[in-house]
Structure 1
Amino acid sequence: MTLTQHSQKPCQDDLQNFGDKPEQVRDTDHYQQEYVEDFTDRWDRLIDWKARSEAEGDFYIRILREHGARSVLDVATGTGFHSVSLLKEGFDVISADGSPNMLARAFQNARDHGQLLRTAQADWRFLNRDIHGEFDAVICLGNSFTHLFREHDRRKALAEYYAVLKHNGILILDHRNYDRLLDQGVAIRSGKGNVYCGKDVNVSPEHVDEGLARLQYSFSDGSTYHLNMFPLRQSYVNRLMTEVGFQKITSFGDYLPGHQDPDFYVHVAEKEYKADIKQN
């Protein structure tokens, strides 16, 4: 057997590639090239599991239990933080993601926490092709929904979430406060928020317009990565979920109802059929 010595430099296949004009990369499918292995290996330094757990408290657990949810589809599991947290609380969880690098990291993280993930690589736009069964709840967290650049993709993904939900099921979806970023140009509060709590990385907007938020992630070891995302406005997300069919939407700011100027918005959308009954 011959052992191969690997260089400390990432190989060419593990480098992000945005081309010569990165601000013009506004393609939903490009996320596959953004979450390279080196970046996902550092992702938990951005999250800081302990700090995020303290910041969230029992927010998601409480909402799921209030709605009687038992089975949960985590469609953007990332490195597995929420899937692992829910498994520890006794929920039945399927963990999906479009990035194989993220799924591999999530599976290992779960094992390190004494849990076994049931994983599936799935594209949200074709979720019912890859995921079978119905769920009490779908969660799409970590600002993940902003990877969808076309409105058709966003509507398709929401419709797929809706379809896998049982009657009276709920969708929980979050996103950054892009309204503040677009309207005020206020910088992202890295290391001080309650979603991305890691102090080992600085997150800063490199370019922002109505169709793109290009974020730079600079780690203390000198490595730098980027993500291109669509800046979702809060009112737009609420309208879209209503038009897809969700009948009641409750929005939170940093886990508080009606909180002004939060870092993140969290929307809880209910799938419930309410017939209009006319009195004679």
Structure 2
Amino acid sequence: MSADKVFHSRSQGIPSEGVKDQYADGKAARVWKKYIGDSNQRTQNYKNFLTGLLKKHNCVKVLDAACGTGIDSMMLVDEGFKVVSVDASDKMLKHALKARWEKRKDHKYDEWIIEEASWETLPEDIQSFLPGATFDAVICLGNSFAHLLDEFEDQRTQKMCLRNFAKVLKPGGLLFIDHRNYDAMINSGATPGHSIYYNCSYPVDIKTSVLVVRGKPELVALDYLIHTNEDAELNEQSMFRLCYYPHELDKFTSMLDEAFDNKAEHSIYADFKALDQVENPAYYIHVMRKPLN
């Protein structure tokens, strides 16, 4: 960052060159796992929304492109989908690999593939361990894509990664991708407080900071304080910072359309409901359907 962009964008212990892996110290990953809970704690609305659309469109083979600790992947495996899970964070993947090992007696988990991969080289990375593979659906949910910051100030890397998601989809395949309501954060300086993904059993406070450079919002930092005082394992590391690129709804919608050459069906939901049903959503969820030809 240049001198006019000095900002502490990471939790203590995370290397400055590793902004793409903000869980690199391993401690934040453990706290995050507690925050999101397990697959049985996913909100029913989320589960019904995702699995319902996947089944409606006859999707079988699903790429979880930001699998983290494997929570969503496990939910999909349990529902009978064939899942390939990738993440750029090896610290998060360790939790997913451990979860798969703990499920080794369940035959549904025998075909669950877990590999390290980068969005920037996603087609090539997938070819390295699954030559010729394409997917009925790709999911990148839980505000994961916003971890990718705008290093060149023209969003070229973000645009390239969205095109990579489109490339690994079969014709007619679905991309599920979301982002927090950054429009609201920019305008109010606060994060809409309700969660649509997690039923966390711990009290959580989120402090929101918006970095504006030359009149343009460039970074949102969320300081999570998770009150885990009764959990001896996590008591020392219950506070951490995650940084995001503040995707505004209109701009992100245009970027997605361009990634599919303006030919895909594009549906937008607010907290898994129609846009006009939610006044101040926590998340916007985009569902792209790749054209058949």
Q: Show the counterpart of 1:229.
A: 244
CA distance in 1, matches of 2:47, 2:70: 17
Gap regions ≥5 residues in structure 1 = 1-19, 275-280
With the length of structure 1 as denominator, give the TM-score of the two structures: 0.83
Q: Counterparts of 1:138-217 in structure 2 under 5 Å?
A: 138-150=138-150, 151-189=155-193, 192-209=194-211, 210-217=217-224
1:150-169 Cα distance to aligned partner (Å, 9 max, x none): 21111111111111111111
Q: Which amino acid aligns with 1:139?
A: I
Q: CA RMSD in A?
A: 2.3
1:93-133 Cα distance to aligned partner (Å, 9 max, x none): 10000000111101222343543531111110100111021
Pair 1:31 & 2:11 matched: no
Percent identical pairs in the alignment equals 28
Q: Are the structure 2 counterparts of residues 169 and 195 from structure 1 closer, same or farther at C-alpha, using a change threshold of 3 Å?
A: same
Match of 1:43 among 26, 32, 49: 32
Pair 1:248 & 2:265 matched: yes
Q: Please give the secondary structure, in 2, of the residue aligned with 1:103.
A: helix
Q: Show the counterpart of 2:3.
A: none
CA distance in 2, matches of 1:33, 1:145: 13
- TM-superposed CA distance for 1:217, in Å, is 1.4
Gap regions ≥5 residues in structure 2 = 1-5, 128-132, 212-216, 228-234
With the length of structure 2 as denominator, give the TM-score of the two structures: 0.79
Conserved 8 A contact 2:20-2:148? no
Q: Which amino acid aligns with 1:142?
A: G
Q: Are the structure 2 counterparts of residues 153 and 80 from structure 1 closer, same or farther at C-alpha, using a change threshold of 3 Å?
A: same
Q: Please give the secondary structure, in 2, of the residue aligned with 1:96.
A: strand
Q: Are the structure 2 counterparts of residues 57 and 196 from structure 1 closer, same or farther at C-alpha, using a change threshold of 3 Å?
A: closer
Q: Which amino acid aligns with 1:182?
A: I
Match of 1:80 among 66, 70, 74: 70
Aligned length: 252
CA distance in 1, matches of 2:134, 2:44: 31
CA distance in 2, matches of 1:235, 1:21: 26
Q: Show the counterpart of 1:13.
A: none
Match of 2:287 among 231, 252, 268: 268
Conserved 8 A contact 1:205-1:213? no
- TM-superposed CA distance for 1:269, in Å, is 0.5
CA distance in 1, matches of 2:83, 2:219: 32
Q: Show the counterpart of 2:130.
A: none
